Amino acid sequence: MQNSTEINLANFNDGDVSQSFNYSNQWWNIPYEYEDRYNTNDSQQLLIICVIAIENNIFKIFIAQLDTQEIKYSYSVQDSKITNAVNDPFRQLILLVNNQGQTLVFNYSLKLIKIIQNSCLKQAKISFDSYFIYSICPNDIIIYNGLSFQQQYPKIQSGLKEVTNIVNIQYDNLFIITQKLNSLLVKLSFNSQYELIQIIDQEGMQLSKVELNKDSNNNIFLEMLFSSYRNIFYQIIPLSKKQSCNIEILQQIRPLENIYFLIELSNSLNTLQSSQQKLSVFKINYLDQQYIQSIDLDNIQEKNIDPNKLLSLVIQSSVIFNNIYWSKNQINSQNIRNVLINNMSLNIIDSITLNQNAEMKNFQLIDIILNVENTLNISNFDQVYLQNIKFNSKKLGNNQIIISNNKLVIIENITIDSIQTEQLTFYLSDNVNLVIKQIFINKLSKNNIFQIQNNQYIDIQDIQVFDAILISVFQISLCLKLNITNIYLKQVNSTQLLYLQGIAEIQVSQITVNSSNQVKILTIEPFYEKNIQYTCLSDVIQCISVLNSKEVSFDIQASNTSISDFYIYQSSISKTCFQVQSTNLVITNFKIEEVQPQLDGTLIQSQYINNNKYVFLQIFDFQNCIINNLTSLNNQITVLSINQQPDNVGNFTMNFSRLSSQEINEPLIELNFVDTILFNEVLIENNVLKQNLYTSIAYVSQCNSITINNSQFKNNTNFNGIGGSLYVFNCLHILIQNSIFKQNKCLRLNGGAISIQNFVNIAQVNIQKCQFILNSAAFSTGGAINLSYANLIIENSNVTSNTAIIGGGIYYEQVIPDFVLEKSNNISNNKNKIINNYAKIFGHNIGSTIRKIDIDLKNIKIPKGSVKILGERQIEIREFKSGNQITFEGIQLLDEENNPIKMSNINITEFQFYSSDIQSFVQSLSVSLNWDQSNKKIQVIGQVQSKQVINNGINLQSQIMYMPQRSMSLQIVLDTLPNLIDSKRNTFFLQDQFQKNFTINFTSCSIGEITVQQIDSIICQECPKGKYSLDQYSTSCKQCPDSAKECHGSTINLKNGYWRENNKTDIIIYCNKNPEFCQAESPDSKVIFFFPLKTGLLIES
């Protein structure tokens, strides 16, 4: 059945129709429709209409068929007037109110079913729902059963005034009675008067909506919406027993809104006080450009406050872009425990301080576009939530948020994008638990974002920073436990990411830095306060990546540190990248690739770096340090530098690491003053050290014990330093085992593979089961191993095909190693192969110093008549005349392999490139003649010293003067005596090993010689030409006689015609009788015979 204001029936006159129009306005005069008044379940789809008409002052009711315009039923009402009519489609009833206090109940056939009584004569309004029919009068209400038409509840008549409607809540016998000034929530009883639950003030507004709802906790509550052309009022009333209710105020755009707000607030609180409900939520909805009002809920009665449930204040807006302003107005109430501000663009104009009296429990700022002109101070809460906040980039506020003395603070999903102010800061202090996550920072400059101090437990997650410069992201001090995970930086410059002081326990993971410059990623250091130092006890750092960045740095001071899964790629560093000072340090899975030095913002190519050390990882002041799985590839920096204090005990271990293809000017690894060192399964290969004169690829100094195990040093080149791959300086114990040193080159100084040098104590070196192959010291000593003041025990090792200038395989100085002594004494059982090595000067396999001076007997040139006799310990020269000359040709200097020094192999052009010690050695290499110079009668004149090597030998030539019939000792000695001791500091060499001893026996002068005093010596001097001597003891020569053609020595050659009795006489006779027979000048006149004749002498020739 449908309601209509227009009919067209043929048998009705115009007057009747006119009257029906007048009454049609009363057909439905109820301001609130609780449910649909149309019967949508009517399957017959009846097209009928009920018409009420007046004829002769008699009210007639017609039921007509619309499609046929046929009147089907009619009824005449006698003796009364119809004042109201209602259609009930659920039960297909027509209810007519007359002026005699009655309601006539008809069915659709106009059969009168029941007459029910109204409380008033003609002002009654009829309403109904699925259960009841309501007779509503201005001051009372009667409720009838919808089926039996019997009165259901006692008449409601007290406390009512200007009633307009009643609504069945259909829950717990609860009804809403709407009146002109207010509404009542009542509970009806079948045998007593109603119970007033709550009075709701809504003057001037109509009830527009009622809903019965249930929340997730199965709490049932009633939601009511009152509206007018000026205002909207939203009321939530809990219906469950002992439940709380909510009050919501919807702000309007109108002048003096703050006054209206106070009125609404007062009305709501008055309504609450008239009920037994417990207020749980007070909600205010603000519109754009409105100010948050001062809120005071202290007037709420104690009965309306549930001590077990906290009263929440909700400040919100319907649209997040609505600009809401918060000035000096405060939230002051001892009753408010929770504050929620959400879904708005919030502008805090003045300094706002919340909860100074510590009465509130929880604060939430959610879904906010925020601008803080001055400061927002949030303190003394149990819980603080700042979630889904974006700082307003169009405003220039200081944006300082101070959060202190709270039990739990959660800052989540914060966007800080393009903020122009330089004061943006979260100050967080003295909180118990702090959670910061999902922070997005973009295009920021000169800001300190999070300053955090004295919070007990901190959790930081999911931080992103883009395109920022000169900012400090986190400054954190004095915390018990800090956890940081998942931070990403890109295009960030001159920034400090994490500055941590005095934090007991730290865990940092998943930090990625990409395309950034001058970023201090992590600083951990003690905090000093009132002479007390608060130190980090434990920090765990893992999963750090640095990509395509410049001058990033880490600085860590802690008691116990663990760093793992670090990767840096295609980046540059200035001075030190990662500096760690930790008592116990474990580093695992470090990969450093294509890292170069950076100086003053300019990338420096390695060949131009002078006297600057660029270190990736610097470690000091530790007790135990372990590095596992360090990989360094294609870098131009020092990868690891450790500098302990001299009196600190420290143990260092490197396991399973690879350092390859570096081009550097400082050591790749540098360890100083470490007590014990272990390299285990370390591969160092294809590295080049260019400029440093004092170090090597790996440099270890001032350490107690070094162990190298199962490691490989291959194809490393040291251009100017010491040791092709390893230089050990002033260390006590070195153990190298199961390791390979191959194709390493030291181009200038000592040790093709390794060089070990001590000054104070003898280094004890033990090499076991190692391979030294194809290493070279191109211009120096020790093709494989160079030892200085070090003892070496080598066992089961192979030293092969190594080259050097001296000591092609192994070179040692100052201390002769035990294995060499054992070998020389034929007691060695070490199973070494030290073969096929080459030295350009001497010591092919093993070289040290000159071991022996030697000369071949045939190379000793003495005058005719003298004799050389080779003795066991010396060479004896007999029949030597004082004043004669001795020539020593090819004096040999032999090495310990009994090979001569090959000075002829020295190329003059190459000599300038030799190491200084080899140059000094060659330049100081000389031999000389030595004798008892205290005996002034002995004189040695001539070439008594020489360093000139001719055909791999040295020549000496001297005149030796003493006394006839005497003997003297003469030595060929090495001018620079080597200094070698054994491992027990006993002197190794004896003096006679470095000299060749001679005894010279002087004979008397011969006839023809005279003795001449030569200073204190007496020499034999042959008479010169023109003179002679026939007395071997003569001191002067006689003048050759006129009868002699010539004289010299003891020879007198006579002229023809002269003769003498024999060669021993100088009595010369002229052959005056037969001079032709005295042919002394004839070659045939060789023998003179003397025959005694009676008549005289007969001379025959």
**Average per-residue pLDDT for the chain:** 84
CA distances to 17, 18, 47 from 6, rounded to whole Å, are 8, 10, 14
pLDDT (mean) for 131-152: 89
Structure-model confidence comparison of residues 577 and 46, the more confident one = 577
Give the chain's count of helices (H) and strands (E).
5, 91
pLDDT digits (tens, 9 = 90+) for 482-491: 999 999 999 9
Range in 331-345, 444-458, 739-753 the model is least confident about:
331-345
- Secondary structure percentages of the chain, helix, strand, coil, to 5: 5, 55, 40
Contacts of 11 (CB under 8 A, 6+ apart): 71
What is the radius of gyration, based on Cα positions, of the chain?
Answer: 61
Q: Give percent of the chain with pLDDT exceeding 90.
A: 38
For residue 1090, is pLDDT > 50?
no
Question: pLDDT of 237-252, one tens digit each?
Answer: 877 655 567 777 777 6
Comparison of pLDDT for 277 and 632, the residue scoring more: 632
- Bigger pLDDT: 161 or 3? 161
- Please determine, for residue 19, whether its predicted confidence score (pLDDT) is greater than 60: no
Q: Give 368-404 pLDDT, tens digit per residue.
A: 999 888 889 999 999 999 999 998 777 766 778 999 9
Given a cut of 70, whether residue 324 has pLDDT beyond it is yes
Give the span between the Cα atoms of 724 and 777, in whole angstroms: 8
User: What would the pLDDT profile of 530-558 be if each residue is shown by its tens digit?
Assistant: 889 999 999 999 999 999 999 999 999 99
- pLDDT 10s digits, 999-1037: 999 988 888 888 888 888 888 888 999 888 888 788 889
Q: What is the pLDDT of residue 308?
A: 67
Q: What is the mean pLDDT of residues 66-73?
A: 84
pLDDT at 783 (0 to 100): 94
Q: pTM to 2 decimals?
A: 0.71
Report residue 572 as tokens.
Answer: 């540059």
Q: What is the pLDDT of residues 7-16, one digit of tens each?
A: 222 222 233 3
- Output the pLDDT for position 91: 86
Question: According to the 3-state scheme, what is the secondary structure of 1070-1081?
Answer: ECCCCHHHCCCC
Strands 195-201 and 206-214: unpaired
Q: What is the pLDDT of residue 1088?
A: 45
Query: Which has more confidence, 552 or 296?
Result: 552
pLDDT exceeds 60 at position 410: yes
* pLDDT score for 897: 83
Least confident of 47-51, 459-463, 587-591: 47-51
Helix intervals (H) in 245-341: 257-273
At residue 303 the predicted structure's pLDDT band, cuts being 50, 70 and 90, is: low
pLDDT tens digit sequence for 480-517? 999 999 999 999 999 999 999 999 999 999 999 999 99
Q: How do residues 840-893 score in pLDDT, each as one tens digit?
A: 888 899 988 888 888 888 889 899 888 988 888 889 999 898 888 999 988 888
Q: Find the range with the poorest average confidence among 175-184, 521-530, 607-616, 707-716.
A: 607-616
Structural tokens at position 783: 């093709």
Look at residue 715 in the predicted model and tell me its pLDDT.
96
The pLDDT of residue 1097 is above 60: no
Closest to 313 in 3D by CA, of 296, 299, 288? 296
pLDDT tens for each residue of 196-240: 888 888 777 888 888 888 766 667 888 888 887 777 777 888 776
Percent of the chain with pLDDT over 70: 88
For residue 20, pLDDT over 60 is answered with: no
Report the pLDDT value the prediction gives residue 423, as an integer from 0 to 100.
Answer: 66
Is pLDDT above 90 for 753?
yes
Residues 714-734 pLDDT 10s:
999 999 889 999 999 999 999
Q: Would you give the distance in Å from CA 347 to the centre of its chain?
A: 40
Give the whole-angstrom CA distance, residue 891 versus residue 972. 9
pLDDT range class, residue 275, cuts 50, 70, 90: low
- The pLDDT-based confidence of 258 (bands split at 50, 70, 90) is low
Burial of 1062-1071, coded b for 16+ CB within 10 Å and e otherwise, reads eeeebebeeb
pLDDT of residue 36: 40
**pLDDT tens digits, 642-662:** 998 888 889 999 999 999 999
Work out the number of other CB atoms within 10 angstroms of the CB of residue 1082.
10
Element (DSSP H or E) covering residue 209 = strand 206-214
Q: What is the structure's pLDDT at 895? A: 83
Own/partner long-range contacts of 356-364 (Cβ < 8 Å, ≥24 apart): 356/380, 358/405, 359/333, 359/334, 360/331, 360/336, 361/310, 361/337, 362/310, 362/312, 362/337, 362/338, 363/338, 363/339, 364/338, 364/339, 364/340
pLDDT band at 984 (very low <50, low <70, confident <90, very high): confident
Q: Which residue has the higher pLDDT, 1047 or 268?
A: 1047
Q: What pLDDT does residue 491 have?
A: 95
Of 45-49, 253-257, 834-838, 907-911, the one with minimum mean pLDDT is 253-257
DSSP class of residue 304 equals G
Distances (CA, A) of 725 to 641, 695, 722, 753, 1006: 16, 10, 9, 5, 69
Instruction: Please compute the mean of the pLDDT values over residues 436-441 and round it to a whole number.
Output: 95
Spatial CA neighbour of 405 closest among 427, 431, 428:
431
Amino acid 83: pLDDT: 86
Top pLDDT among 925 and 1083 is at 925
Give the model's pLDDT for residue 240: 67
